[in-house]
Amino acid sequence: MNKDYIALLQQQGFNDQQAQLYGQYAEAIALAPKTLLCKQQQAIEYAYYIVSGLCQAYYLTDEGKTFSKEFYWQGDFIVGFESLLTQQPSPYMVATLTHCQLLRVPIKQVQQWREQAHPFYQKLIENQLLYKEGKERYMLLHSPEQRYKLFSENYPELEQQLTDYQVASYIGITPISLSRIKKRLRS
């Protein structure tokens, strides 16, 4: 595996042995914007590590509405943990929003690491848990305006790449509410 990829994994808290292990099974791929990585209600095939680019996980309702679950960018792993643990199809879609360089590993390999209680899998779970705890706190303890301000302050480059609809969905408000918040903040 490319040493740059190993260095990126190490920056995410994976030790050399764990980074090398991921590298043994990883395939580097380049994808165009709007490429589906995972379709809703279909089995997941891969886990991904984002070398560069931006991806989105989202729910698509029967009425055609989308609800942003998550955005992923450089240094993030995309692992459909719910599907992995329940052996059920993915309840959401994952797509690239920009050109992406990814490392993908077959989900069967991740499942094997899970069954072995491998330290690499443990680290994936820990990273996911910390992120989810932080997002829960963000959503529960802040008003919509505070959530927007925090999002804008913490991810200014991300905000520039997303539509207002995507930002609003991510922070748990309607696009109309986001428009009002932006107008109020400009005043």
Helices then strands, each counted (H, E), the chain: 9, 8
SS3 state of residue 177: helix
Q: Report CA Rg, the chain.
A: 17
Four-CA torsion 128, 133, 134, 139, nearest 10 degrees: 120
pLDDT given at position 4 = 67
Query: String of b and e for 154-172 (b: at least 16 CB within 10 Å)?
Result: ebeebeeebeeebbbbbbe
> Is residue 50 within 8 Å of residue 35, measured between CB atoms?
no
Residue 111 inside a domain? The answer is: yes
DSSP collapsed to 3 states, 22-42: HHHHCEEEEECCCCEEECCCC
Instruction: State the helix-helix crossing angle for 144-154 and 164-171, rounded to 10 degrees.
Output: 120
* 10-19, 41-50, 164-173, 177-186: the lowest-pLDDT one: 10-19
Specify the higher pLDDT residue, 126 or 8. Answer: 126
Does the pLDDT of residue 171 top 90, yes or no? Answer: yes
Residue 134 inside a domain? The answer is: no
Between β-strands 93-96 and 46-52, what pairing exists: parallel, antiparallel or unpaired? Answer: unpaired
pLDDT given at position 2 = 63
Number of domains in the chain: 1
| Arithmetic mean of pLDDT, 128-156 | 94
Give percent of the chain with pLDDT exceeding 70.
Answer: 97
pLDDT given at position 6 = 75
* 16-25, 33-42, 65-74, 171-180: the lowest-pLDDT one: 16-25
- Domain of 77 in residue numbering reads as 3-118
Query: Tell me, what amino acid is at 76?
Result: D
Residue 40 inside a domain? The answer is: yes
The CATH number that applies at residue 69 is 2.60.120.10
Give percent of the chain with pLDDT exceeding 90.
Answer: 73
Residue 94 inside a domain? The answer is: yes
> Is residue 123 within 8 Å of residue 81, measured between CB atoms?
no
pLDDT given at position 1 = 54
* Tens-digit pLDDT profile for residues 39-98: 999 999 999 999 999 999 999 999 998 899 999 998 899 999 999 999 999 999 999 999
pLDDT given at position 24 = 83
Instruction: State the helix-helix crossing angle for 144-154 and 175-186, rounded to 10 degrees.
Output: 70
Residue 135 inside a domain? The answer is: no
Residue 19 inside a domain? The answer is: yes
